[in-house]
């Protein structure tokens, strides 16, 4: 099962009760973070999931509200006793930006591995059990949306195992992926499993205008976390100008993508109470939640 | 009169209710900030003094907990509509560090003027009515303590004015510094004022071991804001090793410098309730206050 929490739900500028853009995912105790605005380390401390197991930090883009918390986060991860390498992932420019920020976080007890992602989002990364894909969306600078998936193998197919003539005591080992040799023949788990089952998937998209590809990218996901910079439909011109979305636009994507649940995030500092505008999204896509810092959910495989 | 507020009282890592090192001073509506750790812009928003009037940000040193909030602060000042130049002041290395951090805050509507301070702390800066002096203290890196003073001219001396033969209607103009010519002679305010009176002064020192010069630097100040990384006297070895102070050491300086009031700040994240250790300072220097975020005080001239 996959745990998801929002570490910050503010856009542009942090508010007294709303840190800047960030989310975290936990799988089997391992953590990955997407975006790391100012205050992210405080929010993660509140959440209590620890810092040592953070294996990767992904960045949508490099506007300050999405990365200004990185130096503090690196030092916090360092103070946690981590010595394994940490992956930093983001669009081209990642190394230039992070190396600038690292002038105040030079001494770390772990290596940093940079991955600058390119246009080919079909190529997925596999980190600590998370499968990570991305697509580029439409903001004022190069900006990526991410999909985090937990894949699930097919069910063990007894008839296949029997047909292969494998003794029952070897089935368990084979199912868990331990390839075996028996009577001089080599067997892999694919030979005894059915088709892969639906993965858990969570899509995180901020900052962007609605783009055509997003519908397909988020299609059928368990949770779609999407920016909602403006609650009011009257702010469409502003949203277009600043390359952001209205609540209603995010809801329209959620509806078309047939996701299970929509969380709105990345609220304008001018919007004190995003809940006041919930109906503008919920009237289009009912299962909409107004995000808040430390909103947390556990997603399990559906059978 | 001078208003002082602590924007962050944490050392090393921010806590849920304790942002990182920062203080702000306000004089006639103008603002200067010393240190700018992660969360400073949130704390300033809570305080409500605005961002536009920030004329200078001073840095004691460049450990992340003293400067990580700068990119967000620069953007917040920019969003406030400021177009006048902003002064950034700190030890040598300032430009290198800030230019690194500015990779996420490149477009600002104001110029940045850098002042890298050197050893000669006798040379004061005058910014927006604040007189700023500094001395270098003893930390693991080059680190400055700052003194902010508001100077006060001497009283108008009626006997001097009379002796000069100046008509009474010119006294007011002369006292306010408007040099005048009367009957072919030139008069300056110094000719009618008594000796300069005691300024308001506030000294801010973090991070440092106790050093000899600090006593003289802080002597007689209205407020001495000093780091107290460790409350317990038993942590002396740790304080020495990490180049920090105990509460009792800060109090000893306050006592010897005969300051009016001591505020402790920059608390270790391991110290949940600094108040528990107040007595370790107050038994040495009675007028000790355990700092907290947004602790604020107005200091007026004494007559």
Chain B interface test: which of A16, A36, A42, A76 (most B C-beta within 10 Å): A42
**A68–B71: do the CB atoms touch at under 8 Å?**
yes
**pLDDT at residue number B258:** 98
**pLDDT at residue number A281:** 98
Chain A interface test: which of B15, B45, B68, B94 (most A C-beta within 10 Å): B68
Of A13, A46, A104, the CB nearest to B41: A13
Residue A59 C-alpha, separation from nearest chain B C-alpha, in angstroms: 13
Q: Which of A95, A208, A39, A35 lies closest to B103, judged by CA?
A: A95
**pLDDT at residue number A10:** 97
The predicted-structure confidence for A16-61, as pLDDT tens digits, reads as follows 889 999 999 999 999 999 999 999 999 999 999 999 999 999 999 9
DSSP per residue, chain B: -EEEEEEE-B-SS-BTTB-BSEEEEEETTEEEEE---TTHHHHHHHHT--STTEEEEE-S--SGGGTTTHHHHHHHHHHTT--S-EEEEESTTHHHHHHHHGGG----SS-EEEEE--S-TTS-EEETTEEEEEEE-BSSS--EEEEEEEEEPPPB-HHHHHHHT--GGGHHHHHTT--EEETTEEE-GGGTB-SPEEEEEEEEE-S-B--HHHHHHHTT-SEEEEE--B--GGGHHHHHHHT--BHHHHHHHHHHHT-S-EEEE-B-TT-S-GGGGHHHHHTTSSSEEE--TT-EEEE----
Scanning every residue of chain A, which has its alpha carbon at the shortest distance from the alpha carbon of B39? A39
SS (H, E, C) B166-201: CCHHHHHHHHCCCCEEECCEEECHHHCECCCEEEEE
**B101–A105: do the CB atoms touch at under 8 Å?**
no
The predicted-structure confidence for B197-250, as pLDDT tens digits, reads as follows 999 999 999 999 999 999 999 999 999 999 999 999 999 999 999 999 999 999
Q: Which of A291, A255, A257, A265 lies closest to A60, judged by CA?
A: A265
Q: Which residues of B are catalytic?
A: 65
Note the ipTM here.
0.89
Bond prior to A235 in cis (omega within 30° of 0): no
pTM equals: 0.92
Of B38, B62, B103, the CB nearest to A100: B103
More confident residue, B170 or A72: A72
Q: Which residues of B touch A79 (CB under 8 A)?
A: 12-13
Residue B15 C-alpha, separation from nearest chain A C-alpha, in angstroms: 6
**pLDDT at residue number B16:** 84
**A101–B104: do the CB atoms touch at under 8 Å?**
yes
**pLDDT at residue number A195:** 87
Of A14, A79, A104, the CB nearest to B68: A104
Q: Which residues of A touch B39 (CB under 8 A)?
A: 14, 38-39, 42
Residue B107 C-alpha, separation from nearest chain A C-alpha, in angstroms: 11
Q: Which residues of B touch A8 (CB under 8 A)?
A: none
Question: Which two three-digit tokens encode residue B9?
Answer: 């009282």
Question: Which two three-digit tokens encode residue B115?
Answer: 């002042």
Question: Which two three-digit tokens encode residue A275?
Answer: 């809940």
**B104–A100: do the CB atoms touch at under 8 Å?**
yes
Q: Which of A44, A33, A144 lies closest to A90, judged by CA?
A: A144
Name the average pLDDT for chain B: 94
Q: Which residues of B touch A16 (CB under 8 A)?
A: 42, 45-46
Is the pLDDT reported for residue B191 higher than 70?
Answer: yes
Q: Which of A193, A166, A164 lies closest to A177, judged by CA?
A: A193
The predicted-structure confidence for B132-144, as pLDDT tens digits, reads as follows 999 999 999 999 9
Beta-carbon contacts of B106 under 8 Å, excluding residues fewer than 6 positions away, are none
The predicted-structure confidence for B19-71, as pLDDT tens digits, reads as follows 999 999 999 999 999 999 999 999 999 999 999 999 999 999 999 999 999 99
Residue A243 C-alpha, separation from nearest chain B C-alpha, in angstroms: 17
pLDDT in tens, chain A (303 residues): 999 999 999 999 998 889 999 999 999 999 999 999 999 999 999 999 999 999 999 999 999 999 999 999 999 999 999 999 999 999 999 999 999 999 999 999 999 999 999 876 557 899 999 999 999 999 999 999 999 999 998 888 888 888 888 888 888 888 877 788 888 888 888 888 888 899 999 999 999 999 999 999 999 999 999 999 999 999 999 999 999 999 999 999 999 999 999 999 999 999 999 999 999 999 999 999 999 999 999 999 987
Is the pLDDT reported for residue B119 higher than 80?
Answer: no
Q: Which residues of B touch A105 (CB under 8 A)?
A: 64
**pLDDT at residue number B122:** 56
Scanning every residue of chain B, which has its alpha carbon at the shortest distance from the alpha carbon of A93? B103
Q: pLDDT band at residue B189, thresholds of 50, 70 and 90?
A: confident
B→A interface, C-beta within 8 Å:
12-16, 20, 38-39, 41-42, 45-46, 62-65, 67-69, 71-72, 75-76, 79, 96-97, 99-105
B86 and B60 in contact (C-beta within 8 Å)?
A: no
In angstroms, the CA B262 to CA B244 distance is 17
In angstroms, the CA A225 to CA A250 distance is 9
Q: Which residues of A touch B14 (CB under 8 A)?
A: 39, 41-42, 45, 72
Scanning every residue of chain B, which has its alpha carbon at the shortest distance from the alpha carbon of A39? B39
Question: Which two three-digit tokens encode residue B166?
Answer: 């100046």
Question: Which two three-digit tokens encode residue B261?
Answer: 């009031």
How many CB pairs (< 8 A) connect A and B?
A: 103
Catalytic residue of the set A3, A35, A55, A65: A65
Residue A46 C-alpha, separation from nearest chain B C-alpha, in angstroms: 7
**A100–B96: do the CB atoms touch at under 8 Å?**
no
Q: pLDDT band at residue B165, thresholds of 50, 70 and 90?
A: confident
A225 and A250 in contact (C-beta within 8 Å)?
A: no
**pLDDT at residue number A297:** 97
In angstroms, the CA B264 to CA B59 distance is 18
Beta-carbon contacts of B276 under 8 Å, excluding residues fewer than 6 positions away, are B231
A→B interface, C-beta within 8 Å:
12-16, 20, 38-39, 41-42, 45-46, 62-65, 67-69, 71-72, 75-76, 79, 96-97, 99-105
Bond prior to B52 in cis (omega within 30° of 0): no
**pLDDT at residue number A120:** 63
In angstroms, the CA A269 to CA A273 distance is 10
**pLDDT at residue number B121:** 54
Domains contained in chain A, CATH given:
2-153+196-299 (3.60.15.10), 154-195 (no CATH)
Q: pLDDT band at residue B78, thresholds of 50, 70 and 90?
A: very high
**A105–B64: do the CB atoms touch at under 8 Å?**
yes
**pLDDT at residue number A122:** 56
B252 and B285 in contact (C-beta within 8 Å)?
A: yes
A138 and A205 in contact (C-beta within 8 Å)?
A: no
Residue range B267-285: mean pLDDT, rounded: 97
Residue A206 C-alpha, separation from nearest chain B C-alpha, in angstroms: 17
Q: Which residues of A touch B9 (CB under 8 A)?
A: none
Chain A interface test: which of B38, B44, B51 (most A C-beta within 10 Å): B38
B116 and B91 in contact (C-beta within 8 Å)?
A: yes
- Tell me how crowded residue A130 is: count the other CB atoms within 10 A of its CB: 24
Q: pLDDT band at residue B302, thresholds of 50, 70 and 90?
A: confident
């Amino acid at each position: 099962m996959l745990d998801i929490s929002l570490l910050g739900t503010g856009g542009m500028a942090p508010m007294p009760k709303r840190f800047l853009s960030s989310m975290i995912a936990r799988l089997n105790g391992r953590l990955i973070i997407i975006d790391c605005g100012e205050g992210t380390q405080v929010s993660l401390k509140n959440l209590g999931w620890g810092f040592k197991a953070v294996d990767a930090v992904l960045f949508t883009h490099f506007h300050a509200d999405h990365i200004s918390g990185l130096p503090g986060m690196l030092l916090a991860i360092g103070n946690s006793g981590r010595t394994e390498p940490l992956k930093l992932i983001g669009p081209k420019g990642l190394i230039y930006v992070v190396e600038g920020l690292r002038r105040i976080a030079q001494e770390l007890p772990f290596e940093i591995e940079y991955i600058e992602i390119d246009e080919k989002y079909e190529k997925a990364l596999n980190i600590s059990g998370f499968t990570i894909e991305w697509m580029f969306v439409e903001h004022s600078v190069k900006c990526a949306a991410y999909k985090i998936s937990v894949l699930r193998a097919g069910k063990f197919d007894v008839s296949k195992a029997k047909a292969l003539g494998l003794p029952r005591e070897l089935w368990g080992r084979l199912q868990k992926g331990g390839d075996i040799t028996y009577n001089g023949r080599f067997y892999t788990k694919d030979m005894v499993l059915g088709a892969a089952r639906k993965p858990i998937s969570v899509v995180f998209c901020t900052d962007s205008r609605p783009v055509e590809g997003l519908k397909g990218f988020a299609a059928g996901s368990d949770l779609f976390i999407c920016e909602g910079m403006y609650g009011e439909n009257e702010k469409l011109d502003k949203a277009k100008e600043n390359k952001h979305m209205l609540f209603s636009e995010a809801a329209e994507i959620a509806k078309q993508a047939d996701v299970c649940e929509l969380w709105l995030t990345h609220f304008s500092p001018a919007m004190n109470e995003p809940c006041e505008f919930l109906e503008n999204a919920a009237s289009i896509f009912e299962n909409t939640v107004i995000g808040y810092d430390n909103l947390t959910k556990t997603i399990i495989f559906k059978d």
